[in-house]
Amino acid sequence: MQTACLSFLYRHIRHFVITQTKDLENAIEVGDKWLHRLYPIFKYIAFHFKIPPSLETKLYDLTFSSPLTIASFKDDWTVFRIWLDMGMGGGTFKTIMSHPRNGNQKPRIIETNIDGKKGLINAMGLPGKGVSGLIDYLQKQDLTTIKKPIGFSVGGNSTTEYLQNLNRLDAFLAKKNISYYLEINISCPNTPYGQDMIKHPNLLEKLLEDFRRTSQTILGVKLSPDQNNEDLLEFATLIKEIPRTYINIGNTSYIKSTELFIGGGGLSGPALFPRTLEITQLLSPIGVPLIATGGISSAKEVTQLLESGATLVGIATQLVLDPYQIPIINKKLVKHGHLEKRN
Ligand SMILES: Cc1cc2nc3c(=O)[nH]c(=O)nc-3n(C[C@H](O)[C@H](O)[C@H](O)COP(=O)(O)O)c2cc1C
């Protein structure tokens, strides 16, 4: 009941903030500032939810307290931490590129409504602090107080840059007393080189082999729902050959939109779910662990994906629209025995 009230309150405040600000990105920034202020005061009343022990899930030697994970899209540690406190089992930080970037021109994120279901279209273009900036930022955060696996997503304009970024972050994180993994984003639809490796699987193969020569850190590859099934199977077969890897299915799906400055971007939210389920069913027989991401907003969908072979699920849009669904989903997964068939 308490969670349902908080969810109601959150959605109404969010609606109010959006109507008061000119653009969705501004509304998100205002919302995040409020979360920073409210979290220390109301931490245990409004942002802390226990995760039932039966939801614990393993990815190799990493232990996630719930199969729900934060998909890569946020680079604010406080907000990230709030979602972990609310019941996410772990999560991946926003993709970082080599150097600081402003991303694409605004407007670059809008809300959309497909068949009555709210989603987002974004053309952010991977704005961020760059690897050095991220390392400086992380130095200042209380990373070790989180006992959950944290992923770091890496991008690049060439395979050399990807490898350098992976190695730099890995070297930094290895010295911290935290449980972490790395993910390479080869499926961003919003940057000029964001999908180069999708067109050239041999580049990905070399990158994975090169990284594995020097590190045993768990490494994920984020694929795109826009790849055809044949390509996805080829990638999964290639990734399976490299130890301690996983596949993240998947990124946003490209769609045109005149409301965005650059004329199109990545669709996220419930419209993606049927494709996420289809790809999970397609790739699970290959035997690489899967994080199924795309369109998840209910316990029923989480169950479908886990029963289809996903190890974990990733959530982004639902966290923006209403993060109080996290404790609700965790509770329902246990109540309805959804996860009993997992093992
Ligand atoms: C505003 C926004 C920014 C995103 N940034 C990234 C990113 O930096 N790296 C990445 O791999 N995916 C990024 N994504 C994609 C999400 O991680 C996720 O794969 C996608 O939104 C589908 O999941 P959803 O339907 O739960 O949102 C972003 C999504 C959104 C909405």
Query: What is the spatial distance between Cα 33 and Cα 43, in angstroms, rounded to a whole number?
Result: 15
Q: How is residue 330 written in tokens?
A: 């965790």
Nearest alpha carbon to residue 109 among 93, 129, 124, 131 = 124
pLDDT at 37 over 90: yes
Question: Exposed/middle/buried for 286, CB within 10 Å: 0-12, 13-18, 19+?
Answer: middle
Q: Whose CA is nearest to atom 30 of ligand 1?
A: 73
Mean pLDDT of 271-275: 98
Name the fold adopted by 53-342.
TIM Barrel (3.20.20)
One-letter amino acid of 218: I
Reduced to 3 states (helix: H, G, I; strand: E, B; else coil), residue 125 is: coil
One-letter amino acid of 288: V
Q: Whose CA is nearest to atom 6 of ligand 1?
A: 73
Q: Locate the domains of the chain by residue range.
A: 53-342
Query: What is the spatial distance between Cα 234 and Cα 66, in angstroms, rounded to a whole number?
Result: 30
pLDDT at 65 over 50: yes
8 A C-beta contact, residue 90 and residue 84 = yes
Reduced to 3 states (helix: H, G, I; strand: E, B; else coil), residue 313 is: strand
Q: What pLDDT score was predicted for residue 192?
A: 84
8 A C-beta contact, residue 15 and residue 24 = no
8 A C-beta contact, residue 103 and residue 124 = yes
How do residues 290-336 score in pLDDT, each as one tens digit? Answer: 999 999 999 999 999 999 999 999 999 999 999 999 999 999 999 86
- Cis status of the peptide bond prior to 314, with omega within 30 of 0: no
Q: Which residues have CB under 6 Å of ligand 1? A: 71-73, 94-95, 109, 120, 122, 124, 126, 153, 185, 222, 251-252, 268-269, 272, 293-296, 315-318
Query: What is the spatial distance between Cα 157 and Cα 232, in angstroms, rounded to a whole number?
Result: 22
Query: What is the spatial distance between Cα 116 and Cα 120, in angstroms, rounded to a whole number?
Result: 13
Question: Where is average pLDDT lowest: 31-40, 45-54, 191-200?
Answer: 191-200
Measured at the alpha carbon of residue 234, what is the angle toward residues 251 and 155, in degrees to the nearest 5?
A: 40
How do residues 97-154 score in pLDDT, each as one tens digit? Answer: 999 999 999 999 999 998 898 999 999 999 999 999 999 999 999 999 999 999 999 9
Confidence band, pLDDT 50/70/90 cuts, at residue 343: very low
Please identify, by atom number, the ligand 1 atom nearest to the C-alpha of residue 122. 1
Reduced to 3 states (helix: H, G, I; strand: E, B; else coil), residue 234 is: helix
Q: In percent, how much of the chain has pLDDT > 70? A: 97
Q: Whose CA is nearest to atom 12 of ligand 1?
A: 72
Task: Kindly give, in sequence order, each residue whose CB lies less than 8 Å from that of residue 226, ignoring residues fewer than 6 positions away.
Answer: 187, 189, 253, 254
Query: What is the spatial distance between Cα 101 and Cα 98, in angstroms, rounded to a whole number?
Result: 9
Q: How far is the CA of 221 from the centre of ligand 1 (A)?
A: 14
Mutate to test the pocket of ligand 1, among 32, 68, 72 (most ligand atoms within 8 A of CB): 72
Please identify, by atom number, the ligand 1 atom nearest to the C-alpha of residue 120. 31
CB atoms within 10 A of CB 243: 11
Provide the 8-state DSSP code for 175: T
Q: How is residue 298 written in tokens?
A: 């209910």
Q: Whose CA is nearest to atom 21 of ligand 1?
A: 268
Query: What is the spatial distance between Cα 250 and Cα 291, in angstroms, rounded to a whole number?
Result: 8
Q: How far is the CA of 71 from the centre of ligand 1 (A)?
A: 6
Instruction: List, in sequence order, the alpha helices (H) in the chain.
Output: 2-20, 24-46, 77-85, 130-139, 159-174, 196-199, 201-214, 229-240, 273-283, 299-307, 317-321, 325-335
Please identify, by atom number, the ligand 1 atom nearest to the C-alpha of residue 94. 8
Measured at the alpha carbon of residue 191, what is the angle toward residues 94 and 200, in degrees to the nearest 5?
A: 100
Exposure on the CB side of residue 338, measured as CA atoms within 13 A: 23
Write down the pTM of the prediction.
0.97
Provide the 8-state DSSP code for 107: P
Please identify, by atom number, the ligand 1 atom nearest to the C-alpha of residue 320. 31
pLDDT at 342 over 90: no
